[in-house]
Chains A and B, each alone.
Chain A
Amino acid sequence: MVVVSLGLGHDNDMLVPQTTFKSSIKIVKIEGGGNFTVLLLENGWLYLAGDLPLELECNGDKKTWRRVPGLYRDVACGWSHIVAITVENFVVTGGVGERGELGQGSKKESPFLNPIMQIRHPLKSQVLACFYNTYVLDGGQLLGCGSNTKCQIREPKERIIDSLVNVCEASVSQACAGKNYVFYQKADGHIRLKGSISNSETHLPPMDQFSAFECRSMWTSLLTFNANQKFQFYGQANQKQDAIIGFSCNGPVTAWSTGSEHGIVCIGGKQVFCWGWGEHGNCGSLPTSPTPDGVNDRSNINSGVNLAYKVDSTDVAIYTCFGGCATSWICVERLGS
Chain B
Amino acid sequence: MSTYDQVEIEDMTFDPDTQMFSYPCPCGDKFQIYIDDLYEGEEIAVCPSCSLMIQVIFDQEDLQEYYEEAGTQPPAPIAVSA
B51 & A279 in contact (Cβ 8 Å cutoff): yes
B50 & A34 in contact (Cβ 8 Å cutoff): no
A280 & B13 in contact (Cβ 8 Å cutoff): no
Nearest chain A CB to B62 CB, angstrom units? 14
Complex contacts, A326 vs chain B, CB 8 Å: 26-28, 50
Complex contacts, B6 vs chain A, CB 8 Å: 198-199
A220 beta carbon closer than 8 Å to chain B = yes
B70 beta carbon closer than 8 Å to chain A = no
B2 & A238 in contact (Cβ 8 Å cutoff): yes
Q: Which of A25-41 contact B (CB under 8 A)?
A: 34-35
- Give the residue among B2, B4, B8, B26 with the most A Cβ atoms within 10 A: B26
Complex contacts, A261 vs chain B, CB 8 Å: 4, 26
B65 beta carbon closer than 8 Å to chain A = no
B61 beta carbon closer than 8 Å to chain A = no
A301 beta carbon closer than 8 Å to chain B = yes
A149 beta carbon closer than 8 Å to chain B = yes
A159 & B10 in contact (Cβ 8 Å cutoff): yes
Q: Which of A5-53 contact B (CB under 8 A)?
A: 8, 34-35
Nearest chain B CB to A217 CB, angstrom units? 12
Interface size of A in residues (CB-CB distance below 8 Å): 26
Tell which of B10, B13, B57 touches A199, judged by Cβ atoms closer than 8 Å: B57
A224 beta carbon closer than 8 Å to chain B = no
Complex contacts, A180 vs chain B, CB 8 Å: 11
A329 beta carbon closer than 8 Å to chain B = no
B24 beta carbon closer than 8 Å to chain A = yes
Q: Which of A49-63 contact B (CB under 8 A)?
A: none
A279 & B50 in contact (Cβ 8 Å cutoff): yes
B26 & A219 in contact (Cβ 8 Å cutoff): yes
B28 & A35 in contact (Cβ 8 Å cutoff): yes
A220 & B28 in contact (Cβ 8 Å cutoff): no
B17 beta carbon closer than 8 Å to chain A = no
Nearest chain B CB to A151 CB, angstrom units? 13
Interchain residue pairs with CB less than 8 A apart (18): A8-B28, A79-B24, A98-B13, A149-B8, A159-B10, A198-B5, A198-B6, A219-B26, A238-B4, A259-B26, A260-B26, A261-B4, A279-B51, A301-B51, A325-B26, A325-B28, A326-B26, A326-B28
- Given contact pairs A8-B28, A98-B13, A326-B28, enumerate 4 new A-B contacts (beta carbons under 8 Å): A34-B24, A131-B24, A239-B4, A280-B27
Leading 9 A-B pairs by shortest Cβ distance: A260-B26, A325-B28, A261-B26, A326-B27, A199-B6, A279-B50, A79-B24, A34-B28, A35-B28
